[in-house]
Amino acid sequence: MIKIEIESNTGTHQQNEDYTANLQLSDTCYAVAVADGMGGLENGEIASKTAVDTFNKYVQAHYKDTEKQDCIHQALYEADKAIANLIKEFKGRLGCSIAVAVISTTDMWYSWQGDVRIYLIRNKKPTQLTQDHNLDTGYELRLTRCLKGNGLREDIPFKHHKLSEGDKILICTDGYYKHDDSDDSTTMTITI
């Protein structure tokens, strides 16, 4: 059995630009996604929702007849194309970081763009499964990968992880791992 819980904190910002969704694909399998609108750009909440909804729609239509890696990668390409359409519509820049997974009771296939992190907690020990796509410029962190409507690099990360009963997966935006209540933060907890 898979249990999914979501906790979101708006912090001191007027609007939380995070968006999450989970989609039941079968009795024992879910598609999950967490996105975080890019700071400094407009309409981050719209970018996040569009990316997550596009990802889930693509996975739902193709997960049964496509290899997991191909399905997840193509879903991210489709989400990036949807962001490109938003940029044309709003005539401005927008984008988001995203972490996505297809999770069953025994396996997790996942990918990410940006700094939304995935952790595995097994026997009360957390392990970070993703690496941030950030560059420290000395005065700010800049995303080196994200969904911003201008295509994705060929080497999209993809990983597979075996799961056991009692495992917890956390997919969280930056506020969670900084432990800073003044920031927007969202955490999706998946318990196997």
pLDDT at 83: 96
pLDDT band at 182 (very low <50, low <70, confident <90, very high): very low
Q: How many domains does the chain have?
A: 1
Angle between helices 68-90 and 44-62 (to 10 degrees): 140
Q: Determine the structural domain holding residue 151 and report its residue range.
A: 3-191
pLDDT at 90: 83
Strand partners, 103: 30, 108
- The string of pLDDT tens digits covering residues 149-170 is 999 988 999 999 999 999 999 9
- The string of pLDDT tens digits covering residues 61-100 is 999 999 999 999 999 999 999 999 999 988 888 899 999 9
- The string of pLDDT tens digits covering residues 114-131 is 999 999 999 999 999 999
Cα dihedral 69, 71, 72, 77, rounded to 10, equals 120
Question: How many Cα atoms sit within 13 Å of 116 on the Cβ side?
Answer: 35
CATH number of domain containing 27: 3.60.40.10
* Vertex 52: Cα angle to 56 and 89 (nearest 5): 120
Under 8 Å CB-to-CB from 112, ≥6 apart: which residues?
Answer: 97, 98, 99, 100, 118, 130, 133, 157
Under 8 Å CB-to-CB from 14, ≥6 apart: which residues?
Answer: none
